[in-house]
Amino acid sequence: MIDPRIDRTTGVIVQGITGRAGRMHTRLMREYGTHIVAGVSPKAGGDVDGIPVFANCKEAVAATKAAASVLLVGAEQLLSAIEDAVHAGIRLIVTPTEGMPVHDALRARRLTQEAGATWIGASTPGMAVAGEAKLGFLPEAALIPGPLGIMSKSGTLSYESGFRLAQRGVGTSIWIGVGGDTVKGTRFAELVPFYAADVKSEALLIIGEIGGSEEEEFAAALTAHRFAKPVFALIAGRSSPEGVTMGHAGALVHGSRGGYAAKKAALEQARATVFGSLDDMTNGIVAWHAARATR
Amino acid sequence: MFLLEHDAKSLLALHGAPAPEGALLENAQIAGAQLPPAPWVVKAQIAAGGRGKAGLIRTAKTRDDLQSHLGAILGATHKGMAVRACRIESQVTNVEETYLSFTLDPVSASVRVMLAARGGVEIEALAATPGALKSALAAPEPAALNAAVDELTRGLAPHIARALNDAGHQLARVFLTAELSLLEINPLFVRPDGTWLAGDAKIVTDDDAMFRQPKLRALLDSRASAYPEAHRKERFGCDYVVVDPEGEIGLLTTGAGLSMMLIDELRALGLKPYNFLDVRTGGLRGDPARLVNVLNWIAEGPRVRVLFVNIFAGITDLGEFSRLLLEAFAQVPKLKVPIVARLVGTNLEAAREFLAARNVPVSTDLEEAIAHVRRHLA
């Protein structure tokens, strides 16, 4: 089973730590509580804000026993950076980078699966266990601890959703941005067993979008696993034109495939509540949260 | 990106894969055009299925037929897309129609090979006929794909097996070397002697691999006007799509998912957004240039009456963003519309103060901002 759980003690590497984004996000992740123990960069030796910088993950793991890695490298280097992490035995790999070539993603998925590592991304703001640690960019204003698990293809739409819920007092357990690419490391359906078992997650919100078949697969997995917790869903792109990619590579609809109606029907068949707007979603989840508190 | 048929066939030709002779016409002037031998098939070039049923594929025996079909098809719209060009192709006779495709299977991280001895109909119809469509998954390597093709063509009539085998091996290489996401030949014409031709070609390329695909890049650079969205993304670093040419609300937004959702919500309220945009505020780097470009594109919308800025930024400094926004706005005098801003994120107070002093109301609440937008449209 995929297990993306992290906490304040999980040792984390930042690959690409000496770059502009690497330095900034290392600082922001540490401020949130992430235990960053090492950096990796071709400019090895020395440190970034006191964090030692190694030439590769193998050396970083040998020196620090890191178990997770956040990869802040360019799309062209992403596959080889993932290979570096996998070969060093890293079990959780988070890759925010946008624009990974899809055939590279295919190879990275095969590689991480064969090695038994969990790969989150690419094109993701990352993931977080609220109140513990975050791997990536999720905004602190949206991250208060609570009972709602969140999975999302879109970064910004999940920020908006998480922020509205946080403002109304609904916090999150574990929040995973699976990313907007067609071929990715971890898909919605693959996280169903984890959320079913995770006692801190009392309900699940998935934020999907048109294109691909992840929402349909997720719906099938809910039924197959007899997922008993409430499931809420928001799907972006119901008014998007066919044949045009709307920003995310994965959000491309051909004919009836990948369309909004099919996704909504599949989710409702699996007893998920599909909301038509952000406001309805917020109100619906707040109502669930309030009812739960009075039980 | 989804290639138009003509460009898909040009890409196949670069890799030595055969198709009927064809020419692209962007207007109905056939005098002087280099046409392939008659009779012809006139095929509308748009990125949507169902062209045949919509009357956008027609046969022509004479130049008069050709002229009248071009007149009828060019400028027609189908699924919201205007036909801006037609491929004029020599009609092929005495062939059987078969099916072959390669797609990515994101779950198994493999390539799915599908083929059928009878093609020419929609894949959904093929899939619904028991035993018609044969399918296999293979690792993304030439040897594995060839083996899958060999296995799937076993037991077919000899001339069909030979054609699908040859086509399968050749197109597997194209799929891998050009780093395609979809390569579908339907129909794949098979002659009695077992040679083949691509009757149609659907190709989805990977924009993200373009940096190492020089052939594809050269092809698409020569056809930039046919793919304005992809061209913009590459040149300007942001995603922009006109979703409704009659739209009244210009959107300056960041993030693909949130931008799509905002369009959905505005439309559900009966409002008319003009464009989709993922401006990527993280990539502005203190320079208003990208915003100037975006505002110029929005200014092309003849009915745009308000600019709605919606930025929910985890990292972006909203104070700096606000300064860049107004700097850019001042450089696009033809966009004479009021601005409504909805901002959430770092340094919000500085942004609010700065914009308020210039008569731009700032909301943090999306519904409140939409109410402002409605007032400007009333």
Query: For residue range A109-156, what is the model confidence (pLDDT) as tens digits?
Result: 999 999 999 999 999 999 999 999 999 999 988 999 999 999 999 999
Domains A11-121 and A139-294 share a fold: yes
**Cβ–Cβ below 8 Å for A157 and B255:** yes
Mean pLDDT over the full length of chain A? 93
Q: Which pLDDT score, from 0 to 100, does residue B237 have?
A: 80
User: Which positions in chain B touch A183 (Cβ < 8 Å)?
Assistant: 104, 106, 109
| CB pair distance less than 8 Å for A103 and B239 | no
pLDDT at B1: 86
Q: Do B206 and A254 touch (CB under 8 A)?
A: no
* CA dist., res. B184 & res. B127, Å (int): 14
Q: Are A12 and A66 in contact (CB under 8 A)?
A: yes
Q: Best residue in B121, B240, B258, B280 to probe A by mutation, most A CBs within 10 Å?
A: B258
Active site residue A25: no
What are the chain A neighbours of B208 within 8 Å (beta carbons)? 75, 99-102, 249
Instruction: Kindly report the nearest CA distance between residue B133 and chain A, in angstroms.
Output: 18
Nearest by CB: A243 against B47, B111, B263: B47
Question: Do the beta carbons of residue B345 and residue B320 sit within 8 Å?
Answer: no
Contacts of A99 in chain B (CB under 8 A): 208
* CA pair distance B127, B109, nearest whole angstrom: 22
Q: By C-alpha distance, which of A220, A161, A166 is closest to A188?
A: A220
Catalytic residue among A225, A248, A254, A289: A248
Residues forming a β-bridge with A233: A206, A274
Contact A125 B312 (CB under 8 A): no
- Residue written as token pair 């570096």: A84
A-B C-beta contacts closer than 8 Å: 173
Percentage of residues in chain A having pLDDT higher than 70 = 94
B81 is written with which tokens?
């897309």
The domain locations on chain B are: 21-90, 96-212, 237-377
| pLDDT mean for each 10 residues of chain B (378 residues) | 94 96 93 93 90 93 95 91 94 96 95 92 79 93 98 97 98 98 96 97 93 90 85 82 94 93 95 94 87 96 97 86 96 96 92 93 94 95
CATH superfamily of A139-294: Succinyl-CoA synthetase domains (3.40.50.261)
Does the domain made of B96-212 have the CATH classification 3.30.470.20? yes
Give A220's contacts in chain B (Cβ within 8 Å): none
In this prediction, residues A60-77 reach a mean pLDDT of 97
Query: A180 contacts in B (CB within 8 Å)?
Result: 256-257
Do residue B47 and residue A244 have CB atoms under 8 angstroms apart?
yes
Q: Which amino acid is at B162?
A: R
> Measured between alpha carbons, how far is residue B4 from residues A67, A223, B12, B85, B114 in Å?
46, 39, 12, 10, 21
Confidence (pLDDT) at A247 = 60
Q: What is the pLDDT of residue A251?
A: 56
- At residue B336, the 3 state secondary structure works out as coil
Peptide bond into B187 cis (omega under 30): yes
β-strand pairing of A11-15 with A47-48? unpaired
Task: Label residue A67 by pLDDT band (50, 70, 90).
Answer: very high
How far is the C-alpha of A269 from the C-alpha of A224, rounded, in Å?
A: 12
In B, minimum Cα distance to A143 occurs at B314
Contact call for A277 and B255, based on CB within 8 A = no
State the fold for domain B21-90: Dna Ligase; domain 1 (3.30.1490)
Q: Is the pLDDT of residue A43 over 80?
A: yes
Across the interface, which of B46, B254, B260 has its CB nearest the CB of A209? B260
pLDDT of residue A295: 65
Dihedral (CA of B139, B140, B146, B148) sign: positive
What's the pLDDT score for residue B129? Answer: 83
Which positions in chain B touch A237 (Cβ < 8 Å)? 260-261, 264
- Subunit contact B276:A75, Cβ cutoff 8 A: no
In percent, the amount of chain A with pLDDT more than 90 equals: 86
Who's near A176: CB < 8 A, 6+ residues apart? A4, A120, A127, A150, A151, A152, A186, A191
As given in the structure block, the two tokens for residue B378 are 């009333």
CATH class of the A11-121 domain in this structure: alpha beta
Higher pLDDT, A284 or B29: A284
CA pair distance A151, A156, nearest whole angstrom: 13
Q: How confident is the model at residue A74 (pLDDT cuts 50, 70, 90)?
A: very high
Chain B: residue whose CA lies nearest to A235? B261
Phi, psi of A223 (to 5 degrees): -70, -45
The architecture of the domain spanning B237-377 is: 3-Layer(aba) Sandwich (3.40)
pTM assigned to the model? 0.91
Query: In the predicted model, is pLDDT for residue A250 greater than 60?
Result: no
Contact B211 A76 (CB under 8 A): yes
Per-residue model confidence as pLDDT tens digits over A163-207: 999 999 999 999 999 999 999 999 999 999 999 999 999 999 999
CB contact under 8 A, B259 and A156: yes
Query: What is the model's pLDDT at position A245?
Result: 61
| B180 exposure class (CB count in 10 Å sphere: 0-12, 13-18, 19+) | buried
Contacts with A243 from chain B: Cβ below 8 Å: 2, 46-48, 79, 81
pLDDT of residue A221: 98
Nearest to A279 among B255, B260, B367 (CB): B367
Q: Which sequence spans correspond to the domains of chain A? A: 11-121, 139-294
Sort out which chain B residues have CB atoms less than 8 A from A279's CB and list them. Answer: 367
> Which among B48, B206, B260 has CB closest to A237?
B260
Backbone angles phi, psi at B23, to 5 degrees: -135, 150
- Partners of B59 in beta bridges: B41
Contact A244 B229 (CB under 8 A): yes
- Chosen from B254, B261, B349 to mutate, greatest number of chain A CBs within 10 A: B261
Q: Are A50 and A62 in contact (CB under 8 A)?
A: no
Is the Cβ pair A157, B261 closer than 8 Å?
yes
Q: How confident is the model at residue A257 (pLDDT cuts 50, 70, 90)?
A: low
Alpha helices in B89-178 (DSSP H): 123-128, 142-153, 158-177
The pLDDT, as a whole number, for residue A242 is: 64
